[in-house]
Structure 1
Amino acid sequence: MSEIARFEAKGLKVFMTSSFQTQSMVLLHLISKINRDIPIFMLDTGFLFPETHLFAEEVARTLKLNLIKVKPNHTYKELMAGSKFLYAENSDLCCMRNKVEPLRETYKGYNVWLSGVRADQSNIRAGKKRIEENSDGIIRYHPLLNWDSKSIYLYRKQFELPEHPLEKDGFLSVGCMPCTSKYVDDFSTELRKGRWSGQNKQECGLHTHL
Protein backbone atom coordinates (compact mmCIF):
# COMPACT_ATOMS: atom_id res chain seq x y z
CA MET A 1 0.00 0.00 0.00
CA SER A 2 3.06 2.27 0.01
CA GLU A 3 2.24 2.97 -3.65
CA ILE A 4 -0.59 5.25 -2.52
CA ALA A 5 1.85 7.53 -0.72
CA ARG A 6 4.05 7.62 -3.83
CA PHE A 7 1.08 8.49 -6.02
CA GLU A 8 0.05 11.31 -3.70
CA ALA A 9 3.63 12.58 -3.38
CA LYS A 10 3.60 13.05 -7.15
CA GLY A 11 0.44 15.16 -6.84
CA LEU A 12 -1.82 12.46 -8.28
CA LYS A 13 -5.42 12.41 -7.07
CA VAL A 14 -6.53 9.01 -5.79
CA PHE A 15 -10.06 7.66 -5.52
CA MET A 16 -11.45 4.26 -4.63
CA THR A 17 -14.53 2.32 -5.66
CA SER A 18 -16.24 -0.16 -3.39
CA SER A 19 -19.37 -2.30 -3.53
CA PHE A 20 -19.28 -2.66 0.28
CA GLN A 21 -19.42 -6.43 0.33
CA THR A 22 -17.80 -8.61 2.97
CA GLN A 23 -14.61 -8.96 0.92
CA SER A 24 -14.50 -5.16 0.56
CA MET A 25 -13.80 -4.74 4.24
CA VAL A 26 -10.06 -5.41 4.05
CA LEU A 27 -9.25 -2.61 1.62
CA LEU A 28 -11.67 -0.23 3.32
CA HIS A 29 -9.98 -0.90 6.64
CA LEU A 30 -6.52 -0.37 5.14
CA ILE A 31 -7.59 2.94 3.61
CA SER A 32 -8.96 4.07 6.97
CA LYS A 33 -5.43 3.62 8.33
CA ILE A 34 -3.68 5.37 5.44
CA ASN A 35 -5.81 8.31 4.32
CA ARG A 36 -9.45 8.75 5.27
CA ASP A 37 -9.80 11.71 2.91
CA ILE A 38 -9.61 9.47 -0.16
CA PRO A 39 -13.12 9.48 -1.69
CA ILE A 40 -14.84 6.08 -1.71
CA PHE A 41 -17.25 6.00 -4.63
CA MET A 42 -20.17 3.61 -4.20
CA LEU A 43 -22.30 3.17 -7.31
CA ASP A 44 -25.93 3.60 -6.26
CA THR A 45 -27.72 2.09 -9.23
CA GLY A 46 -31.18 2.31 -7.70
CA PHE A 47 -31.33 -1.48 -7.55
CA LEU A 48 -29.08 -2.17 -4.57
CA PHE A 49 -30.32 -4.17 -1.62
CA PRO A 50 -31.42 -2.02 1.35
CA GLU A 51 -29.00 -4.08 3.44
CA THR A 52 -26.13 -2.90 1.24
CA HIS A 53 -27.00 0.75 1.82
CA LEU A 54 -27.27 0.27 5.57
CA PHE A 55 -24.05 -1.74 5.71
CA ALA A 56 -22.11 0.86 3.67
CA GLU A 57 -23.30 3.72 5.82
CA GLU A 58 -22.47 1.89 9.06
CA VAL A 59 -19.00 0.90 7.81
CA ALA A 60 -18.32 4.48 6.66
CA ARG A 61 -19.33 5.83 10.08
CA THR A 62 -17.28 3.26 11.98
CA LEU A 63 -14.12 3.65 9.90
CA LYS A 64 -14.68 7.39 9.32
CA LEU A 65 -14.50 7.00 5.54
CA ASN A 66 -15.25 9.59 2.88
CA LEU A 67 -18.20 7.74 1.32
CA ILE A 68 -19.73 9.28 -1.82
CA LYS A 69 -22.70 7.62 -3.50
CA VAL A 70 -22.66 7.97 -7.28
CA LYS A 71 -26.03 7.84 -9.04
CA PRO A 72 -26.91 7.64 -12.75
CA ASN A 73 -28.39 10.67 -14.49
CA HIS A 74 -31.73 8.97 -15.18
CA THR A 75 -34.23 8.10 -12.49
CA TYR A 76 -35.38 4.65 -11.44
CA LYS A 77 -38.86 5.52 -12.76
CA GLU A 78 -37.47 6.43 -16.20
CA LEU A 79 -35.52 3.19 -16.42
CA MET A 80 -38.58 1.11 -15.58
CA ALA A 81 -40.97 2.97 -17.91
CA GLY A 82 -40.48 0.74 -20.97
CA SER A 83 -42.36 -2.40 -21.94
CA LYS A 84 -39.55 -4.57 -20.54
CA PHE A 85 -37.21 -4.22 -17.60
CA LEU A 86 -33.81 -3.17 -18.95
CA TYR A 87 -31.88 -5.44 -16.59
CA ALA A 88 -33.80 -8.44 -17.98
CA GLU A 89 -33.79 -7.34 -21.62
CA ASN A 90 -30.16 -6.17 -21.82
CA SER A 91 -28.14 -6.51 -18.62
CA ASP A 92 -24.97 -5.19 -20.30
CA LEU A 93 -26.71 -1.95 -21.25
CA CYS A 94 -28.23 -1.70 -17.79
CA CYS A 95 -24.78 -1.96 -16.20
CA MET A 96 -23.39 0.53 -18.70
CA ARG A 97 -26.02 3.14 -17.86
CA ASN A 98 -26.07 2.58 -14.11
CA LYS A 99 -22.40 1.90 -13.36
CA VAL A 100 -19.90 2.53 -16.15
CA GLU A 101 -21.20 5.85 -17.44
CA PRO A 102 -21.82 7.45 -14.01
CA LEU A 103 -18.36 6.46 -12.78
CA ARG A 104 -16.67 7.70 -15.96
CA GLU A 105 -18.24 11.10 -15.40
CA THR A 106 -17.44 11.11 -11.68
CA TYR A 107 -13.74 10.31 -11.87
CA LYS A 108 -12.86 13.14 -14.26
CA GLY A 109 -10.01 15.06 -12.66
CA TYR A 110 -8.66 12.04 -10.80
CA ASN A 111 -5.51 10.12 -11.71
CA VAL A 112 -5.46 6.86 -9.74
CA TRP A 113 -8.29 4.34 -9.29
CA LEU A 114 -7.93 2.07 -6.29
CA SER A 115 -10.03 -1.11 -6.17
CA GLY A 116 -10.14 -4.45 -4.38
CA VAL A 117 -10.08 -6.65 -7.49
CA ARG A 118 -8.60 -10.10 -6.77
CA ALA A 119 -7.30 -12.70 -9.22
CA ASP A 120 -9.16 -15.53 -7.48
CA GLN A 121 -12.58 -13.94 -8.04
CA SER A 122 -12.98 -14.83 -11.72
CA ASN A 123 -11.09 -15.81 -14.87
CA ILE A 124 -11.32 -12.23 -16.13
CA ARG A 125 -9.82 -10.78 -12.96
CA ALA A 126 -7.07 -13.37 -13.00
CA GLY A 127 -5.71 -11.59 -16.08
CA LYS A 128 -5.36 -8.25 -14.33
CA LYS A 129 -2.09 -6.62 -13.30
CA ARG A 130 -1.42 -5.00 -9.96
CA ILE A 131 -0.88 -1.63 -11.66
CA GLU A 132 -2.26 -0.94 -15.13
CA GLU A 133 -3.84 1.86 -17.13
CA ASN A 134 -7.44 2.05 -18.31
CA SER A 135 -8.83 3.41 -21.57
CA ASP A 136 -9.14 6.94 -20.12
CA GLY A 137 -5.53 7.09 -18.97
CA ILE A 138 -6.45 6.49 -15.33
CA ILE A 139 -3.90 4.41 -13.41
CA ARG A 140 -5.57 1.29 -12.00
CA TYR A 141 -4.11 0.04 -8.72
CA HIS A 142 -5.19 -3.38 -7.37
CA PRO A 143 -3.30 -3.84 -4.08
CA LEU A 144 -5.15 -7.04 -3.13
CA LEU A 145 -4.83 -8.71 -6.53
CA ASN A 146 -2.83 -11.66 -5.20
CA TRP A 147 -4.80 -12.12 -1.99
CA ASP A 148 -7.06 -15.16 -1.78
CA SER A 149 -10.33 -15.69 0.09
CA LYS A 150 -8.52 -17.29 3.04
CA SER A 151 -6.28 -14.25 3.44
CA ILE A 152 -9.31 -11.98 3.34
CA TYR A 153 -11.06 -14.10 5.96
CA LEU A 154 -8.05 -14.17 8.31
CA TYR A 155 -7.55 -10.40 8.04
CA ARG A 156 -11.22 -9.79 8.81
CA LYS A 157 -11.06 -12.04 11.84
CA GLN A 158 -7.86 -10.43 13.09
CA PHE A 159 -9.40 -6.95 13.04
CA GLU A 160 -12.96 -8.09 13.84
CA LEU A 161 -14.40 -6.60 10.66
CA PRO A 162 -18.11 -7.23 9.97
CA GLU A 163 -19.64 -9.18 7.11
CA HIS A 164 -22.38 -8.04 4.75
CA PRO A 165 -25.71 -8.93 6.41
CA LEU A 166 -26.83 -11.00 3.41
CA GLU A 167 -23.81 -13.31 3.47
CA LYS A 168 -25.27 -15.47 6.22
CA ASP A 169 -28.22 -16.11 3.87
CA GLY A 170 -25.96 -17.47 1.13
CA PHE A 171 -25.27 -14.31 -0.89
CA LEU A 172 -21.48 -14.39 -1.27
CA SER A 173 -21.30 -11.79 -4.04
CA VAL A 174 -23.86 -9.02 -3.66
CA GLY A 175 -24.75 -6.66 -6.47
CA CYS A 176 -28.09 -5.31 -7.69
CA MET A 177 -31.22 -7.09 -6.45
CA PRO A 178 -32.52 -8.35 -9.84
CA CYS A 179 -29.14 -9.80 -10.85
CA THR A 180 -27.99 -11.38 -7.58
CA SER A 181 -28.83 -14.86 -6.38
CA LYS A 182 -27.62 -17.16 -3.63
CA TYR A 183 -24.39 -19.07 -4.16
CA VAL A 184 -25.52 -22.68 -4.63
CA ASP A 185 -22.65 -24.33 -6.55
CA ASP A 186 -20.42 -25.96 -3.95
CA PHE A 187 -18.00 -27.21 -6.62
CA SER A 188 -17.30 -23.92 -8.36
CA THR A 189 -14.17 -21.93 -7.53
CA GLU A 190 -15.56 -18.69 -8.97
CA LEU A 191 -16.94 -16.64 -6.10
CA ARG A 192 -19.06 -14.45 -8.39
CA LYS A 193 -21.28 -17.30 -9.60
CA GLY A 194 -24.23 -15.76 -7.80
CA ARG A 195 -24.23 -12.79 -10.17
CA TRP A 196 -26.21 -12.70 -13.44
CA SER A 197 -27.35 -16.29 -12.99
CA GLY A 198 -28.12 -18.01 -16.29
CA GLN A 199 -26.15 -15.49 -18.34
CA ASN A 200 -22.69 -15.74 -19.85
CA LYS A 201 -21.64 -12.67 -17.88
CA GLN A 202 -19.08 -12.18 -15.14
CA GLU A 203 -18.53 -8.44 -15.01
CA CYS A 204 -20.63 -5.29 -14.94
CA GLY A 205 -18.14 -3.47 -17.16
CA LEU A 206 -16.20 -1.38 -14.62
CA HIS A 207 -13.19 -3.67 -14.88
CA THR A 208 -13.57 -4.46 -18.59
CA HIS A 209 -14.93 -1.40 -20.47
CA LEU A 210 -12.93 0.97 -18.29
Structure 2
Amino acid sequence: MQIEEIKKQIEKYKSEGKKMFTTSSFQTHSLVMLHILSRIDNTIPIYFLNTGYHFPETVAFKDQIGKEFGLNVQEVKSSMPRYMQRDSEGRLLFTSDPDHCCYINKTAPTDHLLRNHDIWINGVRADQSSVRKSFTAEQPAPHGTLRFHPMLDWTMKEIFAYIREHNLPRHPLDAKGYMSIGCEPCTRKLDPEMQEREARWYGMNKVECGLHTDLVKK
Protein backbone atom coordinates (compact mmCIF):
# COMPACT_ATOMS: atom_id res chain seq x y z
CA MET A 1 0.00 0.00 0.00
CA GLN A 2 1.47 3.35 -1.04
CA ILE A 3 1.85 6.14 1.51
CA GLU A 4 -0.90 8.24 -0.06
CA GLU A 5 -3.25 5.24 0.10
CA ILE A 6 -2.42 4.75 3.78
CA LYS A 7 -3.18 8.41 4.43
CA LYS A 8 -6.52 8.23 2.63
CA GLN A 9 -7.56 5.12 4.51
CA ILE A 10 -6.70 6.61 7.91
CA GLU A 11 -8.53 9.83 7.01
CA LYS A 12 -11.53 7.70 6.03
CA TYR A 13 -11.51 5.97 9.43
CA LYS A 14 -11.28 9.38 11.12
CA SER A 15 -14.21 10.76 9.11
CA GLU A 16 -16.26 7.76 10.25
CA GLY A 17 -15.43 8.49 13.87
CA LYS A 18 -13.37 5.33 14.30
CA LYS A 19 -11.11 5.07 17.33
CA MET A 20 -7.69 3.91 16.17
CA PHE A 21 -4.53 2.62 17.82
CA THR A 22 -1.40 0.76 16.87
CA THR A 23 1.10 -1.42 18.68
CA SER A 24 4.85 -1.45 18.13
CA SER A 25 7.84 -3.48 19.23
CA PHE A 26 10.12 -0.55 18.24
CA GLN A 27 12.44 -2.66 16.14
CA THR A 28 14.26 -0.97 13.26
CA HIS A 29 11.87 -2.31 10.62
CA SER A 30 8.90 -1.16 12.74
CA LEU A 31 9.95 2.47 12.39
CA VAL A 32 8.72 2.93 8.82
CA MET A 33 5.06 2.63 9.80
CA LEU A 34 5.61 4.79 12.89
CA HIS A 35 7.31 7.47 10.80
CA ILE A 36 4.48 7.42 8.25
CA LEU A 37 1.86 7.66 11.01
CA SER A 38 3.73 10.55 12.63
CA ARG A 39 3.27 12.50 9.41
CA ILE A 40 -0.40 11.59 9.02
CA ASP A 41 -1.69 11.86 12.60
CA ASN A 42 0.72 11.75 15.54
CA THR A 43 -2.14 11.70 18.06
CA ILE A 44 -2.95 8.05 17.30
CA PRO A 45 -1.82 6.12 20.41
CA ILE A 46 1.18 3.84 19.93
CA TYR A 47 1.05 1.05 22.52
CA PHE A 48 4.25 -0.64 23.65
CA LEU A 49 3.51 -4.06 25.15
CA ASN A 50 5.81 -3.97 28.14
CA THR A 51 6.29 -7.62 29.03
CA GLY A 52 8.95 -6.91 31.62
CA TYR A 53 11.40 -9.00 29.59
CA HIS A 54 12.51 -6.53 26.94
CA PHE A 55 16.14 -5.69 26.30
CA PRO A 56 17.00 -2.42 28.06
CA GLU A 57 18.16 -1.16 24.67
CA THR A 58 14.61 -1.60 23.34
CA VAL A 59 13.06 0.39 26.18
CA ALA A 60 15.56 3.22 25.70
CA PHE A 61 15.06 3.15 21.91
CA LYS A 62 11.28 3.34 22.38
CA ASP A 63 11.70 6.52 24.44
CA GLN A 64 14.08 7.98 21.85
CA ILE A 65 11.75 7.31 18.91
CA GLY A 66 8.71 8.62 20.77
CA LYS A 67 10.41 11.96 21.29
CA GLU A 68 12.08 12.14 17.89
CA PHE A 69 8.90 11.34 15.93
CA GLY A 70 6.58 13.25 18.28
CA LEU A 71 4.46 10.17 18.94
CA ASN A 72 1.77 9.49 21.52
CA VAL A 73 3.54 6.44 23.02
CA GLN A 74 1.84 4.60 25.85
CA GLU A 75 2.69 1.41 27.70
CA VAL A 76 0.40 -1.49 28.47
CA LYS A 77 1.27 -4.58 30.47
CA SER A 78 -0.23 -7.68 32.00
CA SER A 79 -2.34 -7.43 35.13
CA MET A 80 -0.45 -10.48 36.42
CA PRO A 81 2.83 -9.61 38.19
CA ARG A 82 5.89 -11.31 36.74
CA TYR A 83 6.66 -13.19 39.96
CA MET A 84 3.31 -14.99 39.56
CA GLN A 85 4.01 -16.06 35.98
CA ARG A 86 5.26 -19.52 36.92
CA ASP A 87 4.21 -23.10 36.25
CA SER A 88 3.29 -25.72 38.86
CA GLU A 89 6.98 -26.45 39.44
CA GLY A 90 7.87 -22.82 40.02
CA ARG A 91 9.58 -22.23 36.68
CA LEU A 92 9.03 -18.94 34.87
CA LEU A 93 6.58 -19.54 32.04
CA PHE A 94 8.89 -18.40 29.26
CA THR A 95 11.04 -21.46 30.03
CA SER A 96 8.27 -24.07 30.18
CA ASP A 97 5.21 -22.66 28.38
CA PRO A 98 6.18 -19.75 26.11
CA ASP A 99 2.74 -19.72 24.46
CA HIS A 100 1.06 -19.03 27.80
CA CYS A 101 3.71 -16.45 28.68
CA CYS A 102 2.97 -14.62 25.41
CA TYR A 103 -0.75 -14.85 26.07
CA ILE A 104 -0.42 -13.28 29.53
CA ASN A 105 1.98 -10.53 28.49
CA LYS A 106 0.96 -9.69 24.93
CA THR A 107 -2.27 -11.25 23.68
CA ALA A 108 -4.48 -10.58 26.72
CA PRO A 109 -3.44 -6.90 27.12
CA THR A 110 -3.99 -6.31 23.39
CA ASP A 111 -7.36 -8.04 23.52
CA HIS A 112 -8.33 -5.47 26.17
CA LEU A 113 -7.22 -2.66 23.82
CA LEU A 114 -9.43 -4.08 21.07
CA ARG A 115 -12.45 -3.83 23.36
CA ASN A 116 -11.90 -0.06 23.55
CA HIS A 117 -11.00 0.72 19.93
CA ASP A 118 -12.40 0.24 16.45
CA ILE A 119 -9.27 -0.03 14.29
CA TRP A 120 -5.96 -1.73 15.05
CA ILE A 121 -3.31 -0.38 12.67
CA ASN A 122 -0.84 -3.23 12.46
CA GLY A 123 2.53 -3.30 10.71
CA VAL A 124 2.73 -6.98 9.72
CA ARG A 125 4.27 -7.82 6.35
CA ALA A 126 3.40 -10.78 4.15
CA ASP A 127 7.09 -11.64 3.65
CA GLN A 128 7.64 -12.25 7.38
CA SER A 129 5.88 -15.61 7.77
CA SER A 130 3.33 -17.96 6.21
CA VAL A 131 0.77 -16.82 8.81
CA ARG A 132 1.13 -13.18 7.80
CA LYS A 133 1.18 -14.02 4.10
CA SER A 134 -2.43 -15.19 4.44
CA PHE A 135 -3.63 -11.79 5.70
CA THR A 136 -5.54 -9.13 3.76
CA ALA A 137 -5.20 -5.35 4.05
CA GLU A 138 -8.32 -5.17 6.22
CA GLN A 139 -9.25 -8.10 8.39
CA PRO A 140 -11.84 -8.61 11.15
CA ALA A 141 -10.58 -8.96 14.70
CA PRO A 142 -12.33 -9.88 17.97
CA HIS A 143 -14.95 -7.62 19.59
CA GLY A 144 -16.15 -6.19 16.29
CA THR A 145 -12.86 -4.40 15.61
CA LEU A 146 -10.90 -4.26 12.37
CA ARG A 147 -7.23 -4.90 11.73
CA PHE A 148 -5.67 -2.57 9.15
CA HIS A 149 -2.40 -3.84 7.62
CA PRO A 150 -0.91 -0.91 5.64
CA MET A 151 2.56 -2.47 5.33
CA LEU A 152 1.36 -5.92 4.22
CA ASP A 153 2.74 -5.72 0.68
CA TRP A 154 5.99 -3.98 1.61
CA THR A 155 9.18 -6.02 1.29
CA MET A 156 12.24 -5.93 3.53
CA LYS A 157 14.09 -4.22 0.67
CA GLU A 158 11.46 -1.44 0.52
CA ILE A 159 11.51 -1.07 4.31
CA PHE A 160 15.25 -0.45 4.39
CA ALA A 161 15.13 1.80 1.32
CA TYR A 162 12.66 4.01 3.23
CA ILE A 163 14.88 3.93 6.31
CA ARG A 164 17.88 5.08 4.25
CA GLU A 165 15.88 7.74 2.38
CA HIS A 166 14.61 9.31 5.60
CA ASN A 167 17.75 8.61 7.61
CA LEU A 168 15.81 6.87 10.36
CA PRO A 169 17.69 5.65 13.43
CA ARG A 170 18.36 1.97 13.99
CA HIS A 171 17.79 -0.20 17.01
CA PRO A 172 21.15 -0.42 18.83
CA LEU A 173 21.08 -4.24 18.78
CA ASP A 174 21.06 -4.31 14.95
CA ALA A 175 24.81 -3.79 14.93
CA LYS A 176 25.24 -6.76 17.26
CA GLY A 177 23.58 -9.21 14.88
CA TYR A 178 19.96 -9.12 16.03
CA MET A 179 17.30 -8.90 13.32
CA SER A 180 13.94 -9.72 14.93
CA ILE A 181 13.99 -8.42 18.48
CA GLY A 182 11.46 -9.40 21.12
CA CYS A 183 11.80 -10.38 24.77
CA GLU A 184 15.40 -10.91 25.83
CA PRO A 185 15.06 -14.56 27.03
CA CYS A 186 13.41 -15.62 23.75
CA THR A 187 15.56 -13.73 21.22
CA ARG A 188 18.89 -14.73 19.72
CA LYS A 189 21.19 -13.35 17.07
CA LEU A 190 20.36 -14.23 13.49
CA ASP A 191 22.54 -16.86 11.82
CA PRO A 192 23.23 -16.36 8.08
CA GLU A 193 21.00 -19.29 7.04
CA MET A 194 18.06 -18.27 9.23
CA GLN A 195 14.90 -16.44 8.18
CA GLU A 196 13.98 -13.21 9.98
CA ARG A 197 11.48 -14.72 12.43
CA GLU A 198 13.56 -17.81 13.23
CA ALA A 199 15.65 -15.85 15.71
CA ARG A 200 12.63 -15.71 18.02
CA TRP A 201 11.80 -18.64 20.34
CA TYR A 202 14.66 -20.56 18.72
CA GLY A 203 14.23 -24.33 19.00
CA MET A 204 10.70 -24.03 20.42
CA ASN A 205 8.73 -24.68 17.18
CA LYS A 206 7.18 -21.22 17.58
CA VAL A 207 7.35 -18.13 15.35
CA GLU A 208 4.29 -16.15 16.50
CA CYS A 209 3.37 -14.75 19.91
CA GLY A 210 -0.41 -15.00 19.44
CA LEU A 211 -1.19 -11.43 18.38
CA HIS A 212 -1.47 -12.55 14.76
CA THR A 213 -3.03 -15.96 15.36
CA ASP A 214 -5.45 -15.47 18.27
CA LEU A 215 -6.49 -11.87 17.55
CA VAL A 216 -7.56 -12.26 13.95
CA LYS A 217 -10.60 -13.67 12.17
CA LYS A 218 -10.11 -15.33 8.81
Structure 2: how far apart are the matches of 1:202 and 1:135? 22
Q: Deviations over 1:122-147 (max 9, x none)?
A: 11111111111113221110101000
Aligned residues: 208
Correspondence for 1:17 = 23
| Residue 12 of structure 2 corresponds to residue 6 of structure 1 | yes
Partner of 1:204: 209
SS of the aligned residue for 2:95 comes to: helix
SS at match of 1:105: helix
Q: Deviations over 1:144-188 (max 9, x none)?
A: 10000100000000000011110111110000011100101x234
**Aligned-partner SS, 1:192:** helix
The one-letter code matched in structure 1 to 2:159 is I
Q: How many Å separate the matches in 2 of 1:106 and 1:140? A: 12
**What is the alpha-carbon root mean square deviation over aligned residues?**
1.2
Correspondence for 1:109: 116
Equivalent in 122, 134, 155 of residue 127 of structure 1: 134
Partner secondary structure for residue 142 of structure 2: coil
The structure richer in helix per residue is 2
Normalising by structure 1, report the TM-score. 0.96
Gaps spanning 5+ residues in structure 2: where? 1-5
- AA matched with 2:140: E
Deviations 1:69-109 (A, max 9, x none): 11110112222586212011100000000001111113322
Aligned partners of 1:80 and 1:93: how far apart in 2?
Answer: 10
Q: Which amino acid aligns with 1:128?
A: F
Q: Distance in 1 between matches of 2:203 and 2:65?
A: 32
Q: Which whole-Å CA distance do the structure 2 matches of 1:111 and 1:76 have between them?
A: 30
* Unaligned segments of structure 1, at least 5 residues: none
1:196 maps to a residue whose letter is W
Equivalences for 1:1-210 in 2 at 5 Å?
A: 1=6, 2-79=8-85, 83-184=90-191, 186-188=192-194, 190-210=195-215
Q: Deviations over 1:176-210 (max 9, x none)?
A: 011100101x234x311100000111100001100
Q: Report the AA paired with residue 41 of structure 1.
A: Y
Identity %: 39
Is the CA contact 2:21–2:119 (under 8 Å) kept in the aligned structure 1? yes
Kept in 1: contact 2:115–2:143 (CA 8 A): no
- In structure 1, distance between residues paired with 2:79 and 2:142: 22
Separation in 2, partners of 1:80, 1:124: 29
